[in-house]
Amino acid sequence: MIARVNWVDEACRKTIDKIERTSLSIGASFPNGSAQGRYEKTPAHDWVSGFWPGLLWLAYEETNNVRLKELAVECERQISQTLWEFEQLHHDVGFMFGLSSVNQYKHIQDEEAKRHALMAASLLAGRFNPAGGFIRAWPNWGGEDHSGWAIIDCLMNLPLLYWASREIDDPRYRHVAELHADTVLREFVRDDGSVHHIVSFDPETGKRIGELAGQGHAADSAWARGAAWALYGFTLSYSYTGKEKYLEAAERVARFFLDHLPEDKVPYWDFRLPDFGKDTPRDSSAAAIAASGLLDLAVAVQGEESKEYRQQAEAILHSLYNHYGAWEADEEALLLHATGYYAADVYVDAPLIYGDYYFVEALLKLKKL
């Protein structure tokens, strides 16, 4: 137990210290993936824009460093401007505004940030297709018709709707969130606990058309980060609703995820690749997301299952810290060896801001436990 506490405390100290240092160069911008040791920046309307202010708030909680708070506030100001750029917004406003505006309201009682988050929740609810019972994914970018597409990642946007429902005592937002979660449970999760990335529906009738590979290897494969989103997302829906079906789904996905991990507890980017070799890319971001979800799952259940989920999360985080951390390297990011979008060759074997965010979030959860 002493050794455990020591490495967790050391890891938390190193991560927070590094965030304080890199905040000097990153400032109030929006990191995405890292190349040549530096985060590449993205516009405020990009789905990843909330993760840097989210990290700043995590570090602020630990340090009370006013400069970090001021950077997070400036990030939120820029993100809030996207509310008036409607055509640029998408299903991931939950990531964007949940980690920036909601956090800002919680930490400094900023009523304007609260309004921004509620506006974003209304936009997210407005993407709901009642014929199919799903929240539509992206706008029609790239010449593709996405009007009937739903994706597994969107489970992680539902907390914005649950929060809004509680904040203004309006059950509509919660109804939308639960209807989407029910559709994902029915249409995305296979019997063995693996999940699809994208499922396509007829946007007029709501009838299921079929699944798409998305960022996975194939339509019938098992994208590792998709499993992590599902594990964590269903756990969050259970925490907000208390509905056992979401807890059961989270445990089913967790079992698949854990049973298919390699020895070092960090998954290859897809669990069903035709070939695995020493050069097959890992996805440290999937490991970090899953670890944070597992710690919440450990709180949701009791007995031996709770103990196992906590131990597995700790083992994943310990491996990430020891074997994937960029502590000594000239690198702005925290975790190495993630995989963004393999088929498009986007950030393959590279650090990703959301991997960093969930790694720190999970570490701090473990420290508090």
Residue ranges of domains in the chain: 2-368
At 127 the three-state DSSP class reads coil
- Edge-first strand listing for the sheet containing 208-212: 149-151, 198-201, 208-212
- Specify the DSSP element, H or E, that contains 367: helix 353-368
Predicted TM-score (pTM) of this structure: 0.98
Checking if the pLDDT of 38 tops 60, the result is yes
In DSSP terms, 282 is beta-bridged to 268
283 in active site: no
Q: Check residue 1 and give its pLDDT.
A: 44
Tokens 């996905």 sit on residue: 253
- What tens digit of pLDDT does each residue of 91-125 get? 999 999 999 999 999 999 999 999 999 999 999 99
Backbone φ and ψ for 329, nearest 5 degrees, come out as -70, 160
Q: Check residue 4 and give its pLDDT.
A: 56
153 in active site: yes
- What tens digit of pLDDT does each residue of 313-337 get? 999 999 999 999 999 779 999 999 9
Q: Write down the CATH number for the domain with range 2-368.
A: 1.50.10.10
Q: Check residue 278 and give its pLDDT.
A: 84
- Tell how strand 208-212 and strand 149-151 pair up: unpaired
Backbone φ and ψ for 62, nearest 5 degrees, come out as -85, -25
Mean pLDDT of the chain: 97
Q: Tell me which of 46, 153, 270, 283 is the catalytic residue.
A: 153
Q: Tell me which of 46, 92, 283, 296 is the catalytic residue.
A: 92
- What tens digit of pLDDT does each residue of 174-233 get? 999 999 999 999 999 999 999 999 999 999 999 999 999 999 999 999 999 999 999 999
